[in-house]
Structure 1
Amino acid sequence: MTVSWNTRVLHTKSPFGIARWTHSEYPRTFVHFEHGGVTGRGEAAPNAFYGENRATVEAALPPLSAHLHDPWDWEALEAALSRTFPHGHPSVKCALEMAALEACALEAGLPVWKLLGLSSKAVPESSYTISIAELPEMERQAREATAQGYRILKVKLGTDRDVPILETLRAAAPQATLRVDANAAWTRSQAKRMLAVLEACGVELLEQPLPAADLEGHAELRRVSPLPLVADESLHDRSTVPALARAFDAVNLKIAKLGGPLQALHTARTARALGMNVMIGCMIESSLGISASVHLAGLADWVDLDGALLLADDPYEGLEWQGGQVTRPTQAGWGVRERA
Structure 2
Amino acid sequence: MTAATSPALSWETLDLHTAQPFGIARWTHSTYPRTFVTLTHAGLTGQGEAAPNAFYGETRGTVEAVLPLLADALSDPWDWDGLHARLSARMPHDHPSVKCALEMAAVEWCAQAAGVPVWRLLGLSPAPLPESSYTVSIADTAAMRTQARDAVARGHGVLKVKLGTDRDEAILEALREEAPHAALRVDANAAWTRTQARRMLGVLDAARVEFVEQPLAAGDLDGHAALRAVSTVPIVADESLHHVSDVIALACAFDGVNLKLAKLGGPLQALAAMRLARAHGLQVMMGCMIESSLGIAAAAHLAGACDWADLDGALLLADDPFTGLEWQAGHLTRPTGTGWGVRRA
TM-score w.r.t. length of structure 1? 0.99
Superimposed CA distance per residue, residues 298-340 of structure 1 (whole angstroms, 9 cap, x where no aligned partner): 111000000000000000010000011011111101000111x
Please give the alpha-carbon distance, in whole angstroms, between the structure 2 residues aligned to 1:215 and 1:226: 18
How far is the alpha carbon of 1:64 from its aligned partner? 2.5
SS of equivalent to 2:229:
helix
Trace 1:263-302 onto structure 2 (pairs within 5 A).
263-302=269-308
How far is the alpha carbon of 1:86 from its aligned partner? 7.3
Aligned letter for 1:233? E
Residue 196 (structure 2) aligns with: 190
Residue 42 (structure 1) aligns with: 48
Residue 151 (structure 2) aligns with: 145
Alignment of 1:251 onto 2:257: yes
How far is the alpha carbon of 1:83 from its aligned partner? 2.3
Among 148, 151, 157, the alignment partner of 2:163 is 157
TM-score w.r.t. length of structure 2? 0.97
Check whether the contact 1:65–1:96 (CA below 8 A) recurs between aligned residues: no
How far is the alpha carbon of 1:85 from its aligned partner? 3.1
Please give the alpha-carbon distance, in whole angstroms, between the structure 1 residues aligned to 2:58 and 2:31: 15
Superimposed CA distance per residue, residues 231-276 of structure 1 (whole angstroms, 9 cap, x where no aligned partner): 0000010111111000001110000000000000001111111110
Please give the alpha-carbon distance, in whole angstroms, between the structure 2 residues aligned to 1:65 and 1:288: 21
Q: Which runs of 4+ in 1 moved over 4 A?
A: none
Residue 121 (structure 2) aligns with: 115
Q: Give percent identity, aligned residues only.
A: 68
Alignment of 1:12 onto 2:12: no
Structure 1 unpaired stretches of 5+: none
SS of equivalent to 2:165:
coil
Alignment of 1:224 onto 2:230: yes
Among 264, 284, 303, the alignment partner of 2:309 is 303
Matched residues, number: 339
Residue 330 (structure 1) aligns with: 336
Please give the alpha-carbon distance, in whole angstroms, between the structure 1 residues aligned to 2:102 and 2:247: 24
Structure 2 unpaired stretches of 5+: 1-6
How far is the alpha carbon of 1:87 from its aligned partner? 4.5
Among 20, 26, 36, the alignment partner of 1:30 is 36
Superimposed CA distance per residue, residues 7-41 of structure 1 (whole angstroms, 9 cap, x where no aligned partner): 00000000000000000000000000001110100
RMSD: 0.8
Trace 1:226-245 onto structure 2 (pairs within 5 A).
226-245=232-251
SS of equivalent to 1:230:
strand
Please give the alpha-carbon distance, in whole angstroms, between the structure 1 residues aligned to 2:183 and 2:318: 25
